[in-house]
Structure 1
């Protein structure tokens, strides 16, 4: 995107946020229990349809919001929306888990933990129904402050998930040091699992490692029946990917999965 376009896009992005996140919506991607095929929960994902540029991907607008300082407002907005939806769907499936990605910028703001706590109390939503996903490298790279924020999130009672496990240098340290309940193996490794008819041992080894320290495992990026067949007997608790369903609006998610 040319610099002039980026300047205009940044203006429109700020304008959207200041007008109640006009043009933004939340889509939900199903997460499936491997053993039973039942719904485990969903990951909440922000989507933006810009009046000038049309659909703008999160790979574009999220870095821009990190630069212009609006990322914290986005985090609060999507957390509130996801929690409200989770409370509704909990009435259909009491053990439904809603996952929300929070970046280091969200957590560096001291009021994020308090915001989450107040939101859950207002809705009457048990904290255990919400899962916060953190990139695997941040708790380590965030230093002492990062550690305190992660353990502070644990105190709220929400679940913690390590996202993109295996994609960075600090995965093993984060796995050992922090109270993650769920480890999400990076989607790029699904291809290894399906290699040579499922004989590749990389994903099974990662799974055994996670289980050895008491963590459950979610495998992201399962896109084909071949990939699913290769990994479904590895003892992985949860799976996610286009094979099970793409991110969809709340109404469609409810119709398809609940």
Structure 2
């Protein structure tokens, strides 16, 4: 792993480099300010895996630096290091993500081996199962061929009940592995498919393959619900509900086994048509989940009109919630709203024991995240569930 540490304070920089070296990392670069860091990044043959950047630097502050790194794609991911207040750190994190830069998280000063390990392990966790091709660009034709050749498959991330730790379901996540073993992230290929009208084909593929896996797991005594992501574009044709129901029937599943996850902002783009389709799906027995809750632009009145059965709290609110009062307040408000609307709640991105304990204490229903398991191929799911059972009991 290659790391660049950008820190204007000489002592802090030397301390950071020593801590990284103690963790066994050898490919380390350093810079004293944003200008020096940009010169170094532009000269490197390959972008570093992680840039650790302090926000409060003279000359060019960390916010401006992050903007340029995102624009020029000079790094695979960043982590913010700062003694600033958590609310400001969170704002910078959101800005970087919106610019298309992967953010591993914020490390509050002083640096410690534990804090560095936590953040760097997130980078490692996301590249397990193949090097993620973060800087790759794909064309519509390549995406179409990948679908036809079966290169895009579902991986599954388990969801656990807070009360007893039991695995109750999985989310199907599209994964595209290239011939050289690298993985194309969904953030790269899904927008291409949406723009090119392939998203319905992708959703159908996810649904069909997830149903096939469900039958195999059922034979091994695993009774799980499956969550499949649905784009607003999927909700336009009047026959969608019938088509999805037919896929399930063919594999011996009932709609009650399947939850369709709809991102909060996408539902609202064509409210009348979307509402009609969602109502039909709900009538047939499908569960409906509002994904990434709190990150869209919907009003609460629109949310109350849609027959959702589940609400997913976005990982951005979960990460760091035990130490950040604003995030905790957002979670409490979401849970309160969900109870009043009679919705079950899944917290995404649960990665630490402290986050698990806080969410359990606040009355959240289900957890999903690396604490339980990373997304895994279908054949590895029973083993992943077994590992979780052994650690939880």
TM-score by length of 1: 0.89
Structure-2 change in CA distance of 1:178 and 1:90 (3 Å): farther
Give the match for residue 211 of structure 1. 339
Q: Which runs of 5+ in 2 are unaligned?
A: 1-71, 74-135, 387-393
The within-5 A match list for 1:107-126 is: 107-126=235-254
Q: Does 1:69 align with 2:69?
A: no
Aligned residues: 253
CA contact (8 A) 1:190 1:221 kept: yes
1:39 equivalenced with 2:167 (yes/no): yes
Indicate if the aligned counterparts of 1:86 and 1:129 stay in contact, CA closer than 8 A. no
* Aligned twin of 2:228: 100
Alignment of 1:175 with 2:303, yes or no, is yes
Answer yes or no: is the 8 Å Cα contact 1:190–1:220 preserved in 2.
yes
Q: Residue 274 of structure 2 aligns with which residue? A: 146
For residues 176-191 of structure 1, the aligned pairs below 5 Å read 176-191=304-319
Cα separation, 1, equivalents of 2:323 and 2:221: 36
> Given that residues 232 and 269 in structure 2 are in contact (C-alpha distance below 8 angstroms), is that contact kept between their aligned partners in structure 1?
no
Distance 1:106 1:202 in 2: 30
Equivalent position SS for 1:69: coil
Does 2:178 correspond to 1:50? Answer: yes
Q: Does residue 156 in structure 1 map to residue 284 in structure 2?
A: yes
Distance apart, 1:199 and its partner CA: 9.5
Q: 1:127 to 1:107 in 2, by over 3 A?
A: same
CA RMSD of aligned residues (A): 2.4
Give 1:194 deviation, angstroms: 1.3
Listed one character per residue, the Cα deviations across residues 177-222 of structure 1 (whole Å, up to 9, x for unaligned) are: 1111110011111136312599943312220111012111111111
Shift of residue 92, structure 1, vs aligned partner: 4.5
Of structures 1 and 2, the one with the larger relative CO (CA 8 A, separation 6+) is: 1
2:226 is paired with a residue whose SS is: strand
Distance 2:299 2:316 in 1: 15
- C-alpha contact (below 8 Å) 2:373/2:384 kept by paired residues: no
Is the contact made by 1:165 and 1:171 (CA closer than 8 Å) also made in structure 2? no
Q: Where has structure 1 moved over 6 Å in runs of 4 or more?
A: none
Structure 1 residue 94: Cα displacement? 6.6
Match of residue 242 from structure 1: 370
